[in-house]
Amino acid sequence: MGLGDKISNKAQEVAGKVKESVGGATDNEKLQADGAAEQAAAKAKQAGEHVKDAAKDVFDK
C-alpha cells in the first residue's frame, strides 16, 4: 500500500467518524449512517490494500 493510499484511507475513516459523531450530537440519523458507511468503505479499502501487500510480499520471496 502506498503512503498516499494509507493517508487517503485514514482521512476517509476519520471524516466518517466525525460525521457519525456530529450526527449523534445533533440527532441526525442520516449523518450518523453516512459517517458509519464512510468508515466501513475506508476500512474495506484498507483491508484490500493489506491483502495486496501480503500477496506482494509472498511473491517477492
Please report how many Cα atoms fall inside a 13 Å half-sphere around the Cα of residue 1, on the Cβ side.
16
What whole-number distance in Å separates Cα of residue 15 and Cα of residue 2? 20
What whole-number distance in Å separates Cα of residue 34 and Cα of residue 17? 10
Please report how many Cα atoms fall inside a 13 Å half-sphere around the Cα of residue 32, on the Cβ side.
8
Question: pLDDT tens-digit profile of 25-59?
Answer: 999 999 999 999 999 999 999 998 888 888 887 88
| pLDDT > 70? residue 1 | no
CA-based Rg of the chain, rounded to a whole angstrom? 15
Mean of pLDDT values over 10-33: 97
- Predicted confidence at residue 55, as pLDDT, reads 85
